[in-house]
Structure 1
Amino acid sequence: MDPTALAFATALVSAMATQTWSDARAAVLAVWRRRKAEAETETVAADLDLAHERVLSAGETGHPETVEAVVDVWQGRVQELLLDHPELAADLREVLTTTLLPMLDKARADRARSIIMTGTSRDSSTFNQVAGDQHHHHG
Structure 2
Amino acid sequence: MTAGSALVGAMATDGWQQARAAVVDWWRRRRPDAADDVGSELETLRTQVLGAREQSDTDTEQALAGAWCLRLQQLLNEDPALAAELRRLLDEHLAPARSEDEQAQGRPVIMKTEAHDSSRVFMAGRDQHITGS
TM-score by length of 2: 0.77
C-alpha RMSD of the superposition: 1.8
Aligned length: 115
The reply to whether residue 104 of structure 1 matches residue 98 of structure 2 is yes
What is the CA–CA distance in structure 1 between the aligned matches of 2:71 and 2:107, rounded to whole Å?
Answer: 19
| Alignment partner of 1:136 out of 99, 112, 120 | 112
What is the CA–CA distance in structure 2 between the aligned matches of 1:12 and 1:56, rounded to whole Å?
Answer: 13
The reply to whether residue 49 of structure 1 matches residue 43 of structure 2 is yes
Instruction: Write the mapping of 1:71-90 to structure 2, written as runs, cut at 5 A.
Output: 71-90=65-84
Cα gap change, 1:135 to 1:60, in 2 (>3 Å): closer
Segments of structure 1 that go 5 or more residues without pairing to the other structure are 1-5, 115-131
Cα gap change, 1:17 to 1:135, in 2 (>3 Å): same
The reply to whether residue 21 of structure 1 matches residue 33 of structure 2 is no
What is the CA–CA distance in structure 1 between the aligned matches of 2:100 and 2:29, rounded to whole Å?
Answer: 30
Query: 8 Å contact 1:35–1:85 — kept in the other structure?
Result: no
What is the CA–CA distance in structure 1 between the aligned matches of 2:99 and 2:32, rounded to whole Å?
Answer: 34
SS of 2:69's equivalent?
Answer: helix
Segments of structure 2 that go 5 or more residues without pairing to the other structure are 116-133
Listed one character per residue, the Cα deviations across residues 70-119 of structure 1 (whole Å, up to 9, x for unaligned) are: 111000011011111222111111111111111222220122334xxxxx
| Alignment partner of 2:63 out of 54, 65, 69 | 69
